[in-house]
Amino acid sequence: MRAIVTGVTGQDGYYMAKLLLEKGIAVLGLTSKAGTAELDLSGRHRDAFQIDTFDYCTPRRISMLVGSYRPDLIFNFASMATGEGMFDSPYELTRLNGGFVIDTLDALRESGRRHEITLCQASSSEMYGIVTETPQSESTPFRPRSPYGAAKVYAHNMIGIYRSVYGVRCCSAILYNHESIRRSAKFVTKKIAHAAAAISLGKMDFLTLGTLDAYRDWGYAPEYVEAMYRMAMADTPDDYVVASGRLNSVRRLCEIAFAHVGLDYSKYVRVSADKSRAIESVNLLGNPAKIRDALGWFASRTVEDIMAELVEHELSLTTGIR
């Protein structure tokens, strides 16, 4: 089997490529710029892994690639403006997060292999925005509060349309927050873990965050790509909420991270409105019952496990902290 993984140098793309390679599936990884994934994955899977610098905004380029590479699976993690940047560059954001998905769906529809290739799209809990119920399920209405969420809704809806109208094998994973040591520095989990490690080593004095009272459903990235793999391999493609079903606050993340290095977070964490988002989605708590019942997937890693792993990783780094 062959797979295309977009955004392969990002957190999710990296873990998905790693999972596929371990399962004996050849991977073509696409990225707007090459990075550490090339060195890491190609070193261990030299014959099965390729990486290509790819312009996601060039019309029909994905169509040509589908024709030449002939994949069995496509996992789309190509995205921009997450974390603090959900309001940055709305046009460019919509072109990538929404328009590229349409390009990919059209490529599959026109390929003559629409029943043979499965596209799995990384959707987002930010699509719910102003939530109408908690927890959220696959049937909860979407009311996004950011350009990022709106673009993800557009892509998510087009997945459903192409599946039902054109018979394209495609599905969406409604991913809630999921973390790992490969998270970028702009995400709050990484900020907290880095600060806890750095402060414990005397390399920082304090951490400033926008709020401690934002609540999210946090999970573990390697487990969430496993959920997407199961979705893609299912006989019938469908959309699923991928979440832990557990709600935690930013304050709780700080407590865990700083306690891991023997510190009281309240002495080192400050709050400033300048660091907060323009509009914050609230009560984003996923109901993973459908994917648990249909595909046997559930999230096992807790925020205690996740934050401890992130802090230990930050402590182990030899640059930036020590």
Q: Tell which residue, 163, 99, 92, 93, has the closest CA to residue 126.
A: 93
Q: Is residue 21 part of a domain?
A: yes
Distance from C-alpha of 72 to C-alpha of 66, rounded to nearest angstrom: 9
C-alpha R_g of the chain:
19
Q: Are residues 211 and 223 in the same domain?
A: no
The residue range of the domain holding 82 is: 2-178+218-242
For residue 145, what is the DSSP state? -
Give per-residue pLDDT as tens, 38-77. Answer: 767 877 777 899 999 999 988 889 999 999 999 999 999 9
Q: Which two tokens stand for residue 137?
A: 């399920």
Q: Is residue 159 part of a domain?
A: yes
Give per-residue pLDDT as tens, 169-223. Answer: 999 999 999 999 999 888 999 999 999 999 999 999 999 999 999 999 999 999 9
Q: What is the pLDDT of residue 277?
A: 52
Average pLDDT over residues 119-147: 95
Average pLDDT, the chain: 91
CATH number of the domain enclosing 47 = 3.40.50.720
Q: Are residues 211 and 174 in the same domain?
A: no
Q: Are residues 77 and 122 in the same domain?
A: yes
Q: Are residues 25 and 142 in the same domain?
A: yes
Q: Are residues 135 and 266 in the same domain?
A: no
Q: Is residue 289 part of a domain?
A: no
Is the pLDDT at 278 greater than 60? The verdict is no
* DSSP code per residue over 47-65: TTEEEEE--TTSTTHHHHH
Question: How close are the terminal C-alpha atoms of the chain, in Å?
Answer: 43
Between helix 100-110 and helix 147-165 the angle, nearest 10°, is 10
Q: Is residue 112 part of a domain?
A: yes
Distance from C-alpha of 150 to C-alpha of 114, rounded to nearest angstrom: 27
Is the pLDDT at 321 greater than 60? The verdict is no
70 or 90: which leads in pLDDT? 70
Q: Are residues 198 and 259 in the same domain?
A: yes
Is the pLDDT at 112 greater than 90? The verdict is no
Q: Which two tokens stand for residue 256?
A: 């865990």
Is the pLDDT at 87 greater than 80? The verdict is no
Q: Are residues 212 and 188 in the same domain?
A: yes
Is the pLDDT at 319 greater than 60? The verdict is no
3-state secondary structure of 120: strand
Q: Tell which residue, 176, 159, 182, 184, has the closest CA to residue 238.
A: 159
CB 81 within 8 A of CB 134: no
Distance from C-alpha of 163 to C-alpha of 89, rounded to nearest angstrom: 30
Is the pLDDT at 7 greater than 80? The verdict is yes
Q: Is residue 293 part of a domain?
A: no
Q: Are residues 51 and 123 in the same domain?
A: yes
Q: Are residues 211 and 123 in the same domain?
A: no
Average pLDDT over residues 124-152: 94
CB 118 within 8 A of CB 309: no
Q: Which two tokens stand for residue 261?
A: 């290095």
CATH number of the domain enclosing 251 = 3.90.25.10
For the beta carbon of residue 68, count every other beta carbon within 10 angstroms: 9
3-state secondary structure of 169: strand
Q: What is the pLDDT of residue 275?
A: 58
Average pLDDT over residues 310-315: 96
Q: Are residues 165 and 192 in the same domain?
A: no
Q: Are residues 109 and 231 in the same domain?
A: yes
- Number of independent structural domains in the chain: 2
**Which distant-in-sequence residues (6+ apart) come within 8 Å of 26 by Cβ?**
1, 2, 3, 48, 49, 50
> Quick one: pLDDT band at residue 285, thresholds 50, 70, 90?
very high
Q: Is residue 144 part of a domain?
A: yes
Q: Is residue 294 part of a domain?
A: no
Is the pLDDT at 281 greater than 70? The verdict is no
For the beta carbon of residue 152, count every other beta carbon within 10 angstroms: 31
Query: Considering the entire predicted model, what is its pTM?
Result: 0.92
